[in-house]
Amino acid sequence: MSDYQPPYDLDTLLNELPVSLAYAEDSNNAKLLSFFADSMVDVEQLLSTINSWRDIDNAQGKALDYYGEDHNVYRNGADDAFYRFMIKTKRLQRITDGTYNSLIKLVAESLDAKYTEINVNPMYDTDSKEPDAIEITNIPGDYINDTRKEQLLFDRLQESVAAGIRIANVEFIKTATGHIYLTGFAQTDEHDQFYMNGFFDESVNTYNHATVSGTALTTEHDEANMKGGA
């Protein structure tokens, strides 16, 4: 709120005085009006803050608690950032209907990701051929900065699928880019020898596969695919 410009500050009120009256800042008129101006500025700032906090992305502290109570989501010691995520995901979970599109919407809007980044597929198309299970893959893990969010998002998905349907696999993908130094040596015969040295800029996609263990999200294994060039 540091850039807030109140519409009724002291200068504005002094400019409303007729020119026949003293309106210098050290005049009695200015001193009298400053009492009104300061109060009006405080009220305007309070109203502006209340209006801003109507948006859940801006709400803090007790105002955020009121949001949570409206959705039966309670803070339980969580900080504002994670509590806001708890409320958002619960609000989205309540409007899902179990369809693939609604599950994609839940994930995408919870993480502020693109709908096209997320895939939901039936398990009967995989090697397991399980008829009443789905997998949710390609979830952009770069949007998740807290491991608690992964578990919470998984819980919300579990609450959103149709009765009798199991989420068998959840895949989060995280991308890291950095410098990799590669060196190697090869000898094809007694006389031919080859050396390789070089720096490469690589983009590494890490795939975290998770399955249900009771009600917990358990990572099974990680894979990494690298692509790039010198």
Residue 9 has what pLDDT? 66
Q: Is pTM, for the whole model, over 0.95? A: no
Between the two ends of the chain, the Cα-to-Cα distance in Å is: 47
Closest by alpha carbon to 118, among 156, 176, 170, 158?
Answer: 170
Place of tokens 């720096």: 199
Minimum mean pLDDT among 67-76, 88-97, 126-135, 148-157: which range?
Answer: 126-135
| Helical axes 147-160 vs 100-111, angle rounded to 10° | 160
Task: Using the predicted structure, report yes or no on whether residue 228 has a pLDDT greater than 60.
Answer: no
Q: Rounded mean pLDDT of the chain? A: 75
The mean pLDDT value for 69-87 works out to 93
- Position 40 confidence tier, pLDDT thresholds 50, 70, 90: confident
pLDDT of 214 reads 43
The H or E element that residue 100 is part of is helix 100-111
Q: What is the pLDDT of residues 173-197, one digit of tens each?
A: 876 665 545 444 444 455 444 444 4
Q: Residue ranges per domain, the chain?
A: 10-52, 97-229
CA angle centred on 69, ends 66 and 70, rounded to 5° = 90
227: pLDDT confidence band, cut at 50, 70 and 90? very low
Q: In what order do the strands lie in the sheet with 166-187?
A: 119-122, 133-140, 166-187, 193-213, 216-229
Given a cut of 50, is residue 47 above it in pLDDT?
yes
